[in-house]
Structure 1
Amino acid sequence: MLKDLSPQAFFMGLLTAFVGFASSFAVVLQGLKGVGASDAQAASGLMALSISMGLCAIVLSFSTRLPVSIAWSTPGAALLVSAGAAVGGFNAAVGAFIVCAILIVIAGLFKPLGRAVAAIPAPLANAMLAGVLVGLCYAPVKAVSFNPAFGLPIVLAWLVVGAWKRLYAVPAALIAFAGVLAFGVDIPEGAFASWAQSLGPTVLLVKPEFHLASIVSIGLPLFIVTMASQNIPGIAVLKVNQYEPNPGPLFATTGLFSLFSAPFGGHAVNLAAITAAMCAGEDAHPDPARRYWAAVIAGIGYVVFGLLAGAVTGFVALAPPVLIQAVAGLALVGAFSGSAFAALKEPETREAAAVTFIVTASGVTFAGISGAFWGLLAGGLAMGLARVARR
């Protein structure tokens, strides 16, 4: 196996870990805080997720000899932002995370459930995701309105670098955010001393509580979004690059690692889609049989970043929340545009997808259940009625 390691795969793995972590950790922090996590609990969740997805990538890539790249569920984190505080607090949200993880394991082991998830109409799943993301995508505009001197450098860095190389746009925005924080934000005296104390890993166990409303409002939509927007596209990326993975064991393994991270505050890990293309493509190595090392190196990088999650969270806490929300929103613009296009491109399902998007984006909560679930239900009803009418 060591003979398969190459400098090309090594550097691509390092780049994958940096891009995967830097481009969306802000979304994860916002999502965990959105369902009631404290700063310390969010740091613990970020640590658990990063270590879990790193170890999962190492295990799967070594065992299958495929470049299986793993990520945390960024769409799932965006869903948490819009879901609002869970009924029962963060403990109930952790209970919903555990239910989601168990469902992912079952989907991998029990083929009918996996087929049922795959059978959810793609336009509706994409419309639900777009509805979840659109609120957070407003954040960069709100940041500029809040303080142009703070918001504009972040947005301009994203625009300028993105026009040259889209892959580096979010890391550039993150660097601009760090510059604004260092030179523009009035940081209270003693804040850096407190930050220095948080350099070690933050490990907090959260006792899960199981509330039906939180399971239906958070657990089920998180499961659907993670499967439809991450796991299934992740398999597709591998197939596009001429690999033939067995999806079931991969899904089940990501569910087990999600189950490991949940008690520490992590919401879900899954197959990667965007970073999977980096590890599985020719840039990782001309020989497809040697590319799995890129995913392994990326996994090692994620573990290292996870151990530094407390420092990352403490640094972010020094800034006005709207600025880190702006970075998170910029990180999700591509995902929003892609999901919105996929949702509305087919004329026959466009109206049902629009219904799903509108209900989800409205943020309404009924019976303690968030709009993501009701949006999917409303879109499904609209699609079913349209088909009956056509017949």
Structure 2
Amino acid sequence: MTSAPPSSGVLRPVTAGLVSALVGFTSAFVVVLSGLAGVGATPVQASSGLLAVSVTMGLSCILLATWTRMPITVAWSTPGAALLATTGVVEGGWPAAVGAFLITGALIVLTGLVPQLGALIARIPASVARAMLAGVLFQLCLGPVTGLAENPLAVAPVVAVWVLALRFLPRWAAPLGFLTAAVVVAVHVATSGVAVDPAVLVPTVELTAPVFTLGGVIGIALPLYLVTMASQNVPGVAVMKGLGYELPWTRSMLVTGAGTALGAPAGGHAINLAAISAALAAGPEAGEDRSRRWIASVTAGVVLVLFGIASSAFGALVLLAPAGVVAAVAGLALLGTFAASMQAALVEPDGRVPAVVAFVTAASGIAIAGVSAAFWALVAGLAVRAALRAGR
């Protein structure tokens, strides 16, 4: 009986890692750029932030996978980026946002060192946390609708390809939608005569000295930390446990928290354990030999670093896009997360009213005392839940 060649045990995890990185990056990089711009970043600063989160999450994938020999995948905080897109500029502007990113990284590190903090986050009712996230995503998910009304010729092909891919290649729906948008941008540039300066394609790291303000802490850092923990890190551990892996909580939080803090001065908002996309590198697609699946995470990390180096090109693509296209791509990428969040928010009959309160508060976009709607949504949802359960 002959054994399979060694390469056969490596090809599948390498392929799975490539798919994981490609799907993860192209599905949501527009959301990251929109989020950074939402809290005051210039186009150059937003591209620098995209480079920072791409490189730090890629290096974190490589470090955790080789350290633990587990297929641990790290991603940027897509819900966190969506939160930033709806937050607006806080007092202190972009430097205050950078300070908030640093505080978020420190809080994630602290969560790794103090397990009770993680347990406290896990005790936030899933219905309220998911409803808050759904409310944050709501305005962004309107992008395809408003885009079709504003610029139907440019947006319709993106939506059509996304719908067809959702039917036949669901995993590739968002990447194929982005690819269609790239074609639309290329046609727009060719037909409009817009000149593209080659200098904008060169990777640029723009460091910003952090400023720490109360508005930045309460309006950005705390909501970003809560959303990242409740919507990414805690579910990420659960997904991996379902696949048969007990993740080292402390090491995972220390690496992702330190990565968040290191990327903050360059504009990176937050990195965390992958949740939905974790299965791409840790599931059967990465091969039957579980002892080799960590190779998928290393491969994903290498590809993400390369994508990060090309971040300026992706940023230029967004800047050159016709009206409505960027918002449509971001909205389509988030529709699946929005649907899953709404479903989780309403699954518990007794928790539906508090969840709806949290949803409408977050969706309102109001900012009270410089604090974003996401924070007040969590407060309102928990307060109503406590009132309804009082005396039971």
Residue 111 (structure 2) aligns with: 107
> Match of 1:86, as an amino acid?
V
> Match of 2:13, as an amino acid?
A
User: Structure 1's 29 and 108: CA in aligned 2 closer, same or farther, altered over 3 A?
Assistant: same
Query: Quick check: 198-207 or 253-262, which moved more?
Result: 198-207
Residue 168 (structure 1) aligns with: 172
Residue 137 (structure 2) aligns with: 133
Which of 261, 266, 279 is equivalent to 2:263?
A: 261
CA distance in 2, matches of 1:240, 1:253: 22
For the 8 Å contact 1:5–1:293, the answer to whether it is kept is no
Residue 37 (structure 1) aligns with: 41
> Match of 1:334, as an amino acid?
G
Deviations 1:173-201 (A, max 9, x none): 11111121122467764522x1x222221
Q: Give the 5 Å matches for 1:291-370.
A: 291-320=293-322, 322-370=324-372
CA distance in 2, matches of 1:128, 1:19: 25
Q: Kindly state the Cα deviation for residue 322 of structure 1 after the two structures are TM-superposed.
A: 2.4
For the 8 Å contact 2:41–2:94, the answer to whether it is kept is yes
CA distance in 1, matches of 2:117, 2:195: 49
Q: Does 1:71 align with 2:75?
A: yes
Q: Give the 5 Å matches for 1:193-212.
A: 194=197, 196-212=198-214
Q: Kindly state the Cα deviation for residue 166 of structure 1 after the two structures are TM-superposed.
A: 1.1
> Match of 1:286, as an amino acid?
E
CA distance in 2, matches of 1:151, 1:286: 41
For the 8 Å contact 1:4–1:290, the answer to whether it is kept is no
User: Structure 1's 374 and 53: CA in aligned 2 closer, same or farther, altered over 3 A?
Assistant: same
What runs of 5+ residues in structure 2 fail to find an aligned partner? 1-5
Partner SS, residue 126 of structure 1? helix
Query: Quick check: 310-319 or 2-11, which moved more?
Result: 2-11
Which of 55, 62, 67 is equivalent to 1:58?
A: 62
Between the aligned residues of both structures, percent identity stands at 46
For the 8 Å contact 2:148–2:324, the answer to whether it is kept is no
Q: Kindly state the Cα deviation for residue 11 of structure 1 after the two structures are TM-superposed.
A: 1.0
Deviations 1:347-384 (A, max 9, x none): 11110011000111100110000100001000110000
Q: Kindly state the Cα deviation for residue 245 of structure 1 after the two structures are TM-superposed.
A: 1.7
User: Structure 1's 186 and 142: CA in aligned 2 closer, same or farther, altered over 3 A?
Assistant: farther
For the 8 Å contact 1:32–1:42, the answer to whether it is kept is yes
Residue 3 (structure 2) aligns with: none
For the 8 Å contact 2:106–2:261, the answer to whether it is kept is yes
Give the superposed CA RMSD. Answer: 1.4
Runs of 4+ in 1 over 3 A off after TM superposition: 2-5, 184-190
Residue 85 (structure 1) aligns with: 89
Deviations 1:316-337 (A, max 9, x none): 1111352111101100000000
